[in-house]
Amino acid sequence: MLSNVVASQTVHEKYGGVVPELASRSHHRTITGVTSQALLEADIGVSDLDAIAVTQGPGLMGSLLVGLSFAKGLSLTHRIPLYGVDHIDAHIYANFIEKTPASPLVCLTVSGGHTQLVYVEAPFSHTLLGKSRDDAAGEAFDKIGKILGLPWPGGPEIDRHSQKGDPEFHRFPRSMLNRGYEFSFSGLKTSVLYYVQEKGEGFVCEHMDNICASVSAAIVEVLISKLEMAAMEHGVGTILLAGGVSANTMLRERARQMAERMGVTLLVPRMEYCTDNAAMIAITGAMKGEVSRPDGLGLKPYARRPEG
């Protein structure tokens, strides 16, 4: 990996969530500079590129259009093959940056927009085992962070507090624990809201670490239990974590314990490859390039995948 430049958008913080129009404008402002910086850090020129990989979806349409238009322009001007990459697949392949995990495997992808259990028979041969019916795990962390009065995004904040807290301080519901591979996190969010209303602000501030640890335990326990079930049912020797929430300390630790118990290999991306990044798009594009022809300039963005 020669360079991996990330431009995070702080403009959304004061709104407590991503504002799509601001996201695409900010993308538009930074994309040229970020690309130049990536080339500079890699110490190469555009003409050294064998291929360009770009996120095709899912995501916010405005931001996807900015990236796709820029990539197409670069591809056309410099005659470089272009590959459209699926953002959620790319989270899985973030695990392939440093080594090639043995297939078949089971991957738990947990991000701000998706919570999915996927059986990967071989690269690009995926079966969706289950997903969230409502909020994604990251979305649950972020919404609960808001309810607790923490800065946005709530995921890393709740993680930070959890590390000093007692996960058994309060037992929040473990939604759909014994119901196959489907997830649901909106009930947990409501339960935290009622808890905060009942206990009051002073109590919540005083016990923030314990409450955060209890919330994390409720989310992580469900994720781990379904991941374990999937790994057992499919008899795989490798399990992966992927997506922004795979940066979570409790999730990483409980997954490590589970893998040890089961005698399987666990792979988790390095921190900088967990949340959205260019490296995971590049590796997926490179892998795609080995098995398929480049996409043309007709490449179209999609906000959602057909299966959600």
Which residues contact ligand KG4 (rule: CB under 6 A)?
Answer: 111-113, 138, 141-142, 153-156, 159, 243-245, 247-248, 275-276
Tell me if 56 contacts Zn ion by CB under 5 A.
no
Tell me if 75 contacts Zn ion by CB under 5 A.
no
Angle in degrees, CA 28, 30, 34, rounded to 5: 130
Helix axis angle for 61-78 and 20-42, nearest 10°, is 30
Q: Using CB under 5 A, which of 157, 228, 276, 295 touches Zn ion?
A: 276
- Compute the distance between CA of residue 281 and CA of residue 304 in angstroms, rounded to an integer: 17
Distances (CA, A) of 29 to 60, 245, 261, 264, 299: 16, 27, 48, 45, 22
Residue 175's binding partner, choosing from ligand KG4, Zn ion, none, with beta-carbon cut-off 5 to 8 A by kind? none
Compute the least distance from the CB of residue 247 to ligand KG4, in Å.
4
Please state whether beta strands 115-122 and 82-86 pair in parallel, antiparallel, or not at all (unpaired).
Answer: unpaired
Is the Cβ of residue 150 or residue 264 nearer to ligand KG4 in the bound state?
A: 150
Q: Are 223 and 251 in contact (CB under 8 A)?
A: yes
Residue 84's binding partner, choosing from Zn ion, ligand KG4, none, with beta-carbon cut-off 5 to 8 A by kind? none
DSSP 177-245: TTSTT-B--HHHHHHHHHHHHHH-HHHHHHTHHHHHHHHHHHHHHHHHHHHHHHHHHHT-SEEEEESGG
Compute the least distance from the CB of residue 167 to Zn ion, in Å.
26
Contact code string over 80-119 relative to Zn ion, x by CB under 5 A: -------------------------------x--------
Compute the least distance from the CB of residue 81 to ligand KG4, in Å.
26
Residue 142's binding partner, choosing from Zn ion, ligand KG4, none, with beta-carbon cut-off 5 to 8 A by kind? ligand KG4
Compute the least distance from the CB of residue 230 to ligand KG4, in Å.
20
Is the Cβ of residue 60 or residue 236 nearer to ligand KG4 in the bound state?
A: 60
* Site stretch for Zn ion (CB under 5 A), options 195-203, 218-226, 262-270, 272-280: 272-280
Binding residue count for Zn ion, defined by CB under 5 A: 2
Compute the least distance from the CB of residue 156 to Zn ion, in Å.
14
- Compute the distance between CA of residue 217 and CA of residue 247 in angstroms, rounded to an integer: 15
DSSP code, position 53: E
Residue 58's binding partner, choosing from Zn ion, ligand KG4, none, with beta-carbon cut-off 5 to 8 A by kind? none
Is the Cβ of residue 234 or residue 305 nearer to ligand KG4 in the bound state?
A: 305
- Compute the distance between CA of residue 30 and CA of residue 248 in angstroms, rounded to an integer: 28
Q: Which residues contact 253 (CB under 8 A, 6 or more apart)?
A: none
Q: Which residue has the tokens 């300390």?
A: 249
* Site stretch for Zn ion (CB under 5 A), options 14-22, 71-79, 196-204, 273-281: 273-281
Output 195-203 pairs: Cβ under 8 A, ≥24 positions apart: 195/170, 196/147, 196/148, 201/149
- Compute the distance between CA of residue 121 and CA of residue 185 in angstroms, rounded to an integer: 28
Compute the least distance from the CB of residue 77 to ligand KG4, in Å.
29
- Give the footprint of Zn ion on this chain (CB under 5 A): 111, 276
